[in-house]
Every structure is written in C-alpha cells, then in structure tokens.
Structure 1
Amino acid sequence: MTTQTAAPARLRGGHPQHTTDQEQHMPIRPENRGRYPINWPDISRSIRIDRARLRCECDGRCGTSHGGRCAARNARPNPMTGSLVVLTVAHLDHNPANCDPANLMAACQACHLRYDREHHAQTRAATRRAAITAAGQLTLEDPCPSAST
C-alpha cells in the first residue's frame, strides 16, 4: 500500500495556510496575498456558500441591469456569458483588509470584473506612471501655460 504525504501548507504573510480547490484558483496575485487576512479562505467561503448559497449577489452594482439579483450560480454556465461560473468575493471598497460582511459581495466573474472596472483602470494608470517615472521618463509640463491661452 502506498501512502501519500500531505502537501505542505501554503504560506501567506508567514502564517501556515490550508488550501482547498477553490483557494488554489483564487485570482489573487501572489504579491497581493499579504494584503488579505490570514483567514480569508474561511471568510470567502462563508460569503459564497453560507450567505449567497453559491449564487452571485450582484443586484446591478456592476452596472448591468439584472432585473433583480444576478442569476449566475457557481459551477454552472453564466446565463449572460455562457462561461462556467467561479463565484468570487468582491470587496466593495476595493480594500482587501476590510472584510466586514457588509463590504463583501459574492460575485460571478462577469459582475466582479465589471464592478472593479474603474478601480482596475486607476491602478493600471498608476502602475504605468510609476514605470515611466522609474525608467526616468517624466512627462513634460507646458513651460508657458499662460502663453497657450
């Protein structure tokens, strides 16, 4: 009989972390994992399963008129896009450290991406500015702003 050894626990912020299939697919970049509380998998699971019952909680906050609550359900085809739904948890204030249940919304990928669209645009712009500055390429300001009027 062959025995398997358990995979080592994943580390986040220096703390041991258990993984599940859902957490292995979480769309959290490795460099951002430290911004989430160590019990994020439990918090996320509670929102997705216990509160939302594996259904997207978006009620149009993403900018789509669902006619009520979004009908997308975890592990089923999204009724709007046809893609397989992996239910995620959105931070309504975009702050991963704020895990107050009132700040969290179970969301299908489509609603989560639409909800975060403006925030993602802002962070992309900030990242571009930082890269340009780091490369020594500063934007030039008009040396004579009053002369251009």
Structure 2
Amino acid sequence: MPIKPEHRFFYPIDWPQLSEQIRFRRAKGLCEQCGRPHGRIVLHLGDGRWWDAEAGRWRDGRGRQLRTQPSAVEIAAVICTTKVFLATAHRNHDTSVNADTNLAAWCQRCHILHDGPEHRRRRHVTLHRRKALGDLFQGPYGALG
C-alpha cells in the first residue's frame, strides 16, 4: 500500500528495499496469510474463498484447501476477480519496529483485515478529538444541532 506523504518520515530510508526483501525473497511473492500470488488476477467469492489456479482448487481465507467445494450456482452468482498486490505490513502497527518477526508480506485483503481494529481505534480517537475541539471552541457538541 502506498505510504501517505505525511507518514513517510515514520518509515526508514531503506523501506523500499526492506519491503522488497520481505515480499519477494522471504515470502516468494505469495501472501504469508492466505497464499495469494502477487500480480495475478484471482477469482474469489467475496468471503475469503478464492481459486488457486496453480493448484487447481478452491482455498479459504487462510489459504487452506476447502473441504466442501462451492457449488456451480454459488460460483456463478458471486464470482469476482481481484488483482493481488502484496504489501509489507507491521504486525504490531508500530512503524519503528522493523525486525523480520514484526514484518509480514500480505495481500490487500489480509492487510486490511489485520489493520481493521487499529483503523477503528484511530477513527474513534479522531472523532473524540474533533468533538473535544468543538466543545472547547464552539460550546457543547450537542448544542449545535
């Protein structure tokens, strides 16, 4: 995922090389969570299940082979395609910790699922900060409506 310019200074100067090392040398171009291949278009059902063309089988959101294959009707009804892009993620959300154990090569789906709770936490803090500033400079928040 691209780094926003305002967050660029949180990352080390050699981040592009470090990210490439994790995604392509260590992970060999596959998501370390689900196994989706970088740069390929994969068929998926929108709930994590995806078609592994190399192995010729459906996999779940964790990369495991499905025990029960989806029916042809289910596949025809909801089949989608997505181009997979790997990104290097910080497991603990701290961009100052760049040890191999804290970095993971994840596809966009796995990355956003991992970051979801952190995004919700930051959103909560941002909304409360806005309300507090409004109360401070414009009076009680509820009085505006």
The TM-score bracket by the shorter chain reads: 0.5 to 0.7
User: Tell me, which stretches of 5 or more residues in structure 1 are unaligned?
Assistant: 1-25, 59-69, 141-149
Relative contact order: is structure 1 or structure 2 higher (C-alpha 8 Å, sep ≥ 6)?
Answer: 2
Computed over aligned residues only, the root mean square deviation of the Cα atoms, in angstroms, reads: 1.8
SS class of match (2:41): coil
- 1:51 partnered with 2:50: no
Name the residue aligned to 2:12. 37
1:20-99 maps to which residues of 2 (within 5 A)?
Answer: 26-58=1-33, 70-80=34-44, 81=46, 82-99=81-98
Output the TM-score relative to the length of structure 2.
Answer: 0.66
What is the CA–CA distance in structure 2 between the aligned matches of 1:106 and 1:95, rounded to whole Å? 15
4+ runs deviating over 6 angstroms: none
1:113-124 maps to which residues of 2 (within 5 A)?
Answer: 113-124=112-123
What one-letter code is carried by the residue in structure 1 that aligns with 2:131?
A: I
What one-letter code is carried by the residue in structure 2 that aligns with 1:114?
A: L
Paired positions, count = 104
- 1:101 partnered with 2:124: no
What one-letter code is carried by the residue in structure 2 that aligns with 1:57?
A: E
Contact 1:88 1:109 in 2 (8 A): yes
Query: How many percent identity over aligned positions?
Result: 35
What is the CA–CA distance in structure 1 between the aligned matches of 2:127 and 2:14, rounded to whole Å? 32
Give 1:133 shift.
Answer: 1.7
Pick closer, same or farther for the CA change 1:138–1:118 going to 2, 3 Å: farther
User: Tell me, which stretches of 5 or more residues in structure 2 are unaligned?
Assistant: 47-80
Write out per-residue CA displacement over residues 52-104 of structure 1, whole angstroms, 9 at most, x where no aligned residue: 0110001xxxxxxxxxxx13111112453521011001100001111101001
Higher helix share: 2
Output the TM-score relative to the length of structure 1.
Answer: 0.64
Higher strand share: 2
What one-letter code is carried by the residue in structure 2 that aligns with 1:76?
A: R
Contact 2:134 2:141 in 1 (8 A): no
What is the CA–CA distance in structure 1 between the aligned matches of 2:120 and 2:140, rounded to whole Å? 20
